Structures are given as C-alpha cells and as structure tokens.
Chains A and B, each alone.
Chain A
C-alpha cells in the first residue's frame, strides 16, 4: 500500500450500476418457478454482489497485502464449516 489504493471514479459508478442491476435480477429470478434452483440463483447473485463490494468498494482487489484476502478466505471457510458440519447431522438424520 505504497500509494492510496482507490479505483478511479468510473469503476465505482460501474460497480454501483452492476449492483443495482443485480438487485433487479435477483427479484426477477425469484418470480420464476425454477424449483431447487431458485435458492441457488439467489445465493449466486448475492455472493457476486458481496464479492463486488468487497473487491472494489472495500479495496480488497488492490490491497497489496495478501493478508487481508487471507482473512476473508479464512472467515468464509469457517463459516462454511459451521454450516456444512451442522448439515452433516441434520441432512442425514433420516437416513437410518
């Protein structure tokens, strides 16, 4: 971080517009009957939006320090551990 890390203003506006479009898209996608894929699409769109915010608005993309990325990855990993290993119980209770 030798120089202040910030994207040019145009990028910010583009990201902002993309985020708004993503919101519209997720609302539209929810009105389609896609059965199990509704939830998947909603989560994919939400994760994309979150990633855009983190990378551009929170300047993760230009962070010269890999450590910040490591913090984010670690956190997401442990969050998934919490969800996945809980489901290891709940998802298999009816198997017996």
Chain B
C-alpha cells in the first residue's frame, strides 16, 4: 500500500490493526461506518437485482418471465430491502457515522459500544431478512397492509416483520447516538451556528428516527401477534379496523422518507458550498428548514390514505398539512441555487452528483404537490405516478446525495483519490439512466397503470420498455463507482488531508484520520464555510495534523 510514500506511513484508523477481531469488535465510529458501508452495499445490490428482475418482467404485457407470486415477492423484497436495509441506514449509518464526530470535533460518538451494537442489530435484522428471502420470502408489498398480511398471505410475514423490527432498533440507536453527540461532544468553540449543515440535517433525521421508528416497531409487533394469534386488532371479521394499521404504519413510514432525504440534503449542502467556494446562502434558514421538515413530516401521514376510506375532513386536514411540509423543502432548493450566485464553481464529480440531486429532487418534490392535491391524488394514487414520484425522491434524491457524498469524502475515508474521469462519467450515466427509467412512469401513472401489476394491458408497453431500458443503464451507472472505488483502494493516488481545500473540521485532520480523529483537540475559532479565508491569497496556515 502506498509504497511510493517516502515517509513511514502514519498510523491511522485503517492500518492500526489488521485482525478480524479489531474490525468486528471495534468501537471506532469510522470502522463501524465501514462495516455499515460493506453491509448496505451488499443489500443495495440485492435490492437492485430484484429491481432488475421486476423491470425485465415488465418488458412485455403478459406475465412470462416469472410466476405471479414470484413477481409479488420480488417487489416486496425490493421495497423492504431497499427501504429498511439500504436507504434508511445509507447516509446516516455510513457517512453520518464517519463524519458526525469528525465534524463536531469529537474523538468518537458519545456511545461507541451502542454504535457497535447498532451495527450488530442491523446485521441480525439483515440476516433474518436474508433467511426469509431464501426460505420463501414475503408477498405483502413492503407496506404489510392488513388484513392481507395478517390473515390471507401464506408467506413468511412474521419473519420479515421481526427482521424489520430488529433493524429498526439499529436505526433508533444511531439516531440517539447522533443527538447526544451533537449536544454534548462538540469541540470548544463549535457553537450551533458554526455547525456544518450536514450536522443539522442529521440532527433532524435523528429526531425522526427516535420518535418515529418505535411506532413502526410496535405496529409490527401487533401485526405479528395478530397473525400468530388472530386477536382481531386489524381483522374486520373480528371487529378490528384495517385502516388503523395504515395510520400507525404511515405515522412512521412517511417521516421515514425524510430519514432518507434529509441526510442527503445535508450532503448536497456541503458539496455545493465547497465546490462553489461559498458560504451557504441563508445558513440559518437551511438549518431551520431541516428541523421544520422533521417536525412537519410527522403531521402528514394520512396523505397516503386519501382513497383508503378515511373521512373527508381528515383528508382535508392532511392535505393542507402536506403542503406545509413542502415549503421548507422549497426553501432549501432556493437557498442552494442562490449559493451558486457569484460563486466560483468547480465541476468535480461530487458537484455533478449534487447538480443531479438538485434537478431530480426538484422534480420529485414538485410531483409530490400533485399527490398532496386531493383531486389529483384520487386518480394517480397507487399508480406508477406514485412509483415515479418516490423514486425521484429516494433514488434521484437520496441515492444521488449518497453517491455524491461518497465521492466527496472518499479521499477522507480511504486516504486515496478515485479516478475523476470515470466518476464524472458515472454521474452522467446515473443521471441519464435514472430519468429514462422513471420519467416514463409518470406518464404511465397518469394513463392509469396501477402499481404492483405483474401483467398489464398492451397499451402501456412502449413506456414500460423505455423504463426497462433506462434501468439497465442505471444499473451500469451504479456498478461503475463500486468498481473504481475498489480499484482506488489499491491503485489510487494518496489523498492529502484536504484535497478539495474544503471547510469543516473533518478536513483538518489527516486522510485517513487517526483512531481518535484529531492529534490535538481542535478549538474552533472560525465560522462554518469560511471559504474566504481558505481561498485568501495569503491564506493563513490552518493547522493540518501531520
């Protein structure tokens, strides 16, 4: 490794110890982040494989590639794996875990052992999920709607429910660790208004993880109990109300969308600031809009139920509240755009991903207005319009942000530079592939093609073919970073402590950082995003460790 380095290699968190136990029993947040990185990448490609099979099946109107029940299991497992085992842990558990202590200037998260426990919970949940997939899988859709899941499906609902239950506690513990760390572990001088907006985004995310996740946990307990014992809580034959499940489920699962998108917004904020060399426009508004999204996110859940049989009055209340949550998202987009004004914009790969995020998130967000609009939602609810919308948010938004962040911080994480040309190409391919996959689905949805259909009327075929073609391009786009990141670990050029000349404490230590992050306890005397100082012609020497 890095033999051309003339000096003896610094001891860092990666080369400190090579034994397996030093990884599996580590309490170092950076190593745990890498454990998460490995595991969520694994689940991402599993989920992606299911997606590919789904798209192939939909190439033709008839059901010919797989059986109907197999198809139902495919989209169920795609959803459950992607939502609970990739998207929710993606940015918080990998980038957040790695960066939150570094950014606030702490040696580690507040509870390192709980952090490790959280990874093990995730792995136990993941193993249960894999076992469930391999031994028969589930066909309820990721939403587990009752009474289908409790009384009619004859697949492994209980096992999948428990897997998600366990993984949920992993998410809760991560959020708990972040909040305590952000409150209690900030370096001297690191005031709240000097925090990077990435931290604010993770703070907001953690609020949702802490207050939302337990509700889905108890809901899954009820589903499992109902299915095992036929209690009647969700079974109309026994006097239960199936809609109660939907209320409880969406109380978590709508805010869960913000668990996925808020950290991504945080990443994009950092990238835009760094590559336009500017302090973010309206720092306090961007910070507060994160908190506002977390809070309003809890008030809108029944917009998933406008045609489910809720009362008209409830629908009105939830519709108007849904518009309220759209405002802070819009505020963020405007502030990002304004940050570019009079900037000095560089087009490195992370910035390309950030631009991709801006475009796709804007479209995803605006189509959310269609769904929050009662009159239109009646028509497009549960059609491909919804599928397209949430993929624009979760894939176009969250995954774009995740990839952008991985590129931005990869030199810090691995100490190596990735090949810039390939990275820009991958960003382009992902953007094109994504739009080709999901834009036709908006049209399909308005035409009326319902979701979760394994065969469909022939007039929908052309758009489905386009979508499948896009999916293959998107798949290639996702494989590329995997390949060149792995390549760079061995052959990449060594990265300096601050290859982007970026602001933020994480760049003031070595790449990769030492085990306790900083050789000297940092004392913060500057504001966030101090690019004027960093780019000043006679720039004052920032103390770079080593």
Residues of chain A having any CB pair with chain B under 8 Å: 67, 74-75, 78, 81-82, 85-86, 88-89, 92-93, 95-96
Contacts and interface: CB of A to CB of B under 8 A. Distances in A.
A92 B215 contact: no
B314 A88 contact: yes
Interface of B: 183, 207, 211, 215, 243-244, 247, 251, 298-299, 301-302, 305, 310-314, 317-318
B514 to A, nearest CB: 31
Contacts, number: 40
Given A82-B251, A86-B247, A89-B247, A95 B298 contact: no
Contacts of B301: 85
A75 B314 contact: no
Contact of A85 (B207, B244, B299, B311): B299
B299 A89 contact: no
A53 to B, nearest CB: 21
24 contacts: A75-B211, A78-B211, A78-B298, A81-B298, A82-B215, A82-B251, A85-B301, A85-B302, A85-B318, A88-B313, A88-B317, A89-B243, A89-B247, A89-B302, A89-B305, A89-B310, A89-B314, A92-B311, A92-B312, A92-B313, A92-B314, A95-B311, A95-B312, A96-B312
B314 A81 contact: no
Contacts of A92: 311-314
A95 B211 contact: no
A81 B302 CA distance: 13
Contact of B299 (A81, A93, A95, A96): A81
A6 to B, nearest CB: 22
A85 B314 CA distance: 8
Can you list the 8 inter-chain pairs with the closest CB atoms, starting with the nearest?
A89-B314, A92-B313, A92-B311, A93-B311, A89-B310, A88-B314, A78-B211, A86-B247
A49 B244 CA distance: 30
Contact of A96 (B211, B298, B305, B311): B311
A89 B313 CA distance: 7
A91 B126 CA distance: 39
Nearest to B301: A85
A82 B318 CA distance: 13
Nearest to A82: B251
A82 B247 CA distance: 9
A71 B482 CA distance: 41
Given A85-B302, A89-B302, 16 more contacts: A67-B183, A74-B211, A78-B211, A81-B298, A82-B251, A85-B317, A86-B244, A88-B313, A88-B317, A88-B318, A89-B243, A89-B247, A89-B310, A89-B314, A95-B311, A96-B311
Nearest to B183: A67
Contacts of B183: 67
A88 B312 CA distance: 10
Contacts of B247: 86, 89
A76 to B, nearest CB: 11
Contacts of A88: 313-314, 317-318
A81 B25 CA distance: 40
A79 to B, nearest CB: 9
A67 B311 CA distance: 38
A58 B432 CA distance: 56
